[in-house]
Structure 1
Amino acid sequence: YHHANDPRRALAAVAEFSQAVDAARRLTDPADTLIIVTADHSHSLVLTAGADRKAPLLGLAGADGAPNKALDDAPYPTLIYGTGPSPTRPQAIARAEGSSDADALRSVAVPLSSAGHAGEDVPVYADGPQAYLVRGVIEPTYVFQLIRRALSL
């Protein structure tokens, strides 16, 4: 969903993925099953500066119910993508103020037909035998080696 810059569905997919990991934990024995969770890349979705903890993720950034304003005096969304498709440009967000339509609040810095990948490291989580080998920043090929070792290949 991040390729389409759809934060609502992307957040829902994360919740579903969390449920899948919970199911894997319930259906396996932690003594003999290594569960590794990671991603192959990140996307440019960011939490904008000045977004209060109470600001709606799919709404406008702000505090105490009042939206924050950019230098052009326009409110801006709590979440914003760096690249990809968008029904609005950041300058058009002012027209979306008070909108309950999350799509009206989606905007990007660089409009493209599909969102590009970002370049930061992605997290890797592990639980089970040899999970202690997953620490700090690790290379993707090392994750492969961990899986290979867990499978005794």
Structure 2
Amino acid sequence: MAVLGSSMVVLVGIIAMWLYTRNSGVHISPKPNTTYDYIIVGAGSAGSVLASRLTENPDINVLLVEAGGNPDGLWVVNTPGAIPNLLHSDLDWDYRTVQQTHSSKGIDGQSSYWGKGRSLGVSSFINFMTYVRGNRYDYDGWAAKGCDGWSYREVLPYFLKS
């Protein structure tokens, strides 16, 4: 986030086509050497909201990069009871922790599975649709440090849209 506001050139990545299909006024160009005002890596809950919010200004050019694909249309993504079918699938990075000394003692090898979604929306679809809103003091702190428009009161309507 330290480079926000500066122009950057991106040469590699997969463009999050989800933004292209939304009515957000986003223009996505897959051409290399295109200049962007902001590059957001990760189209999870936070990255998608940030990209959407930044593109409310039509003069800002944003690239949202995501390594996974688009899970739209897959019944298993939209069916809470079917979410266990996503674990250890192509839509999961299927991470494991390193061997633990003080935890995971009941697990063979003391290494825990750490599910992490591999698609647009990232783990928001693989975490059993759990929703946690950010801490109001974090947002108000950012606004107090000069991030105009990012106070809890100003950001709250974006949380309520879903």
Q: TM-score, normalised by structure 2?
A: 0.24
> More strand per residue: 1 or 2?
1
Could you say which structure has the larger radius of gyration?
1
